[in-house]
Structure 1
């Protein structure tokens, strides 16, 4: 058996760290090229649906807060208020605010209504129940409009 070769661990570790950094830089440039690639129709559609989803989540919470806190709606009136926001507001957002263009051949109203149905209802119920519970413990208070009238 021959002599063992002495290895300087510090130099070896620095060399490995430099190699890893070079590999990492190469990966980031490849990822940047992938990100800059033109988006497909599926990516554009998913981006639209994601925006609609989060708009629906915010709309659900705000419509519950406005309906209960400002207008003092309860029962069937709050239910009708929810349905109006649930079914009409997505079309207003899609066509007038975000101005999405849909192909006439592929257009379907379900593409506007379906993204975010569950989160709208969930946020409406959570915020509506929370506000209603808080207002229940405040005596002689039903809405903000009642204070000004």
Structure 2
């Protein structure tokens, strides 16, 4: 049961399972917690970030390379999302803003937003290593017709 501060029951839930009875409810809910974390990871890998089901690689080596890079990006995203120090809070806020994705009111930064922000940041850093600020300003002026 879930109770509010006045000890009033606000929610009740049951956990139904076919595991042996010697497994405690606490242990079983811990398993489900970790399973849900894994499902969230696959969601990030499949939908929110890397669209794994649309890949066009055909050789095992090419699939493995792309999968390894995608997995590293997801793990980095999770690390940034879960670190609680002040420095990482600023990084999360920056990456979410950079991603352009809106978050639900009162919700912390989402993994898809952090991943999108990381992608934009890394692409920007690559671009800045290849072009000077003056060259980028010139390109922007031409593109915007100003």
Which has the bigger relative contact order, CA under 8 A and spacing at least 6? 1
Give TM-score scaled by structure 1 length.
Answer: 0.28
Give TM-score scaled by structure 2 length.
Answer: 0.28
Structure whose alpha-carbon radius of gyration is higher: 1
